[in-house]
Chain A
């Protein structure tokens, strides 16, 4: 690479930086605008802050939650349940998909069951889990697993079936066993599938955890939302929703980082 950039190149790079900065500024401005509008509307009584809350009231609620130590307790409980849920969902889903890939006959038998279970709204199973496992974190994680498991199985199985038959034949002619075909071809070829499953499962696990906490819990963000609405503390509900936004976005970013590391490690952008 030459040390001196051509004038055209320099201009291109400058323009690129400038346009990216402009987009970022607009995004931040939009956020500020929403909060300012919300606050103003509440102060001037265009809307009733008792129902809609307001940024300043939410901020105060945050500080109270932080001072009492409740903030990190509830956040921690929900985060742990979510991480447990999507890890279990991804791992168990992948293992079952491997099993179904290994035994195609089993897959054919179970296919209609998977389809039916996939179309079932999993939240309907919530009360069953509570009866079986008691009103606690167990039922919540089971709920999360129920939501993410079937989708993971189907997606991973799809990825496995999409492996180029030419590559499978190549493995066969080299004398590969089924286990070698799995570990040296099918699994590495599906690195992108696993990351995608993980991405989807992070979102689904939050749904499972919040649903579960609505139903049973005494701690967690879902509990705070339900509790807040029952005692009509909309400040608490809104504050918790914003906390949830931050936590979910943070976790998603974590998975993106993992994806980046994985791509770098494997040296492919598959």
Chain B
């Protein structure tokens, strides 16, 4: 088990009162797995991701990462924010090296690894460009490479495609999925898009409305070895979609 959530609970305090965001979330993720978290809006799925990323502390409960309890920011975890968040004043090359630079590890060896990633995923010739010169899809791939550069084992993706138009979204989702699988990373994706969850992940975690509790985990073994595009054409795609749709049940 590379990630273990044990009874994670989160309360938000405000002058108006106390808001329960998450209630007793317990589940485990295996190394190399791709997990999606879905649920009605405001169910705390982004909060859960922030807690795993170490940006917020849980009110109670524990996050275990790779056999050790994790508090605060953890170098084994890479976070991919909503929108690419590339810095407009840095070249693509300096953007993807940002993490290494911050961690004082921007040396020839690590830069070599980053260059390999850029080459492998078709971005090497844009090294000297600024982000504004790239398409939304390319920027998203750069953001992923920036996250991969520091060598995390677990990737957290917080609705990374929500700012893209539908066509770009489908193709970038395919790209990102194949990169993550090829690099052998564990991934947790938060999304409000059920078809995105079914098309990308091995298991889908469904949260209930606020305060978010773990409603169920949908395993989709038949789809594991397929690409997002192939999954969308698979006979079982609609069945899993419907199953998750019923579980979310926004009317309840």
User: Residues of A at under 8 Å CB distance from B?
Assistant: 164, 166-167, 169-176, 180, 184-185, 188-189, 191, 266-268, 270
Contact = CB atoms under 8 A, between A and B. Distances in A.
Given A174-B150, A270-B88, A169 B102 contact: no
B98 interface: yes
Given A166-B81, A166-B83, A170-B81, A176 B89 contact: no
Contacts of B130: 267-268
B81 to A, nearest CB: 5
Contact of A173 (B55, B87, B88, B89): B55
Interface string B47-91: 000100111000000000000000001010111011101011101
Given A171-B102, A173-B53, A175-B102, A164 B85 contact: yes
B7 interface: no
Contact of B89 (A170, A172, A174, A267): A267
A47 to B, nearest CB: 55
B156 to A, nearest CB: 8
B79 A175 contact: no
Contacts of B13: none
Nearest to A180: B102
Interface of B: 50, 53-55, 73, 75, 77-79, 81-83, 85, 87-89, 91, 98-99, 101-103, 130, 132, 150
B44 to A, nearest CB: 17
B81 A169 contact: yes
A167 B87 contact: yes
A186 B61 CA distance: 34
B133 to A, nearest CB: 10
Contact of B102 (A166, A176, A266): A176
18 contacts: A164-B85, A166-B81, A166-B85, A167-B81, A169-B53, A169-B55, A169-B79, A170-B85, A172-B54, A172-B73, A173-B55, A173-B73, A174-B98, A174-B99, A174-B150, A175-B103, A189-B89, A267-B89
Contacts of A266: 89
Contact of A166 (B75, B77, B82, B89): B82
A219 to B, nearest CB: 43
A174 B225 CA distance: 31
A117 to B, nearest CB: 29
B102 A170 contact: no
Contacts of B54: 172-173
Given A172-B73, A267-B89, 6 more contacts: A166-B82, A167-B87, A170-B79, A171-B102, A266-B89, A270-B88
Given A172-B55, A173-B54, A176-B102, A270 B89 contact: yes
Contacts of A169: 50, 53, 55, 79, 81
Contacts of B83: 166
B87 A185 contact: yes
Contact of A188 (B82, B87, B91, B103): B87
Contact of B73 (A166, A175, A185): A175
A202 to B, nearest CB: 24
Contact of A268 (B55, B78, B89, B103): B89
A263 to B, nearest CB: 10
A160 to B, nearest CB: 16
A167 B86 CA distance: 8
Contacts of B55: 169, 172-173
Contacts of B99: 174-175
A205 B240 CA distance: 68
B85 A191 contact: no
A175 B73 CA distance: 7
A44 B243 CA distance: 95
A270 B53 CA distance: 30
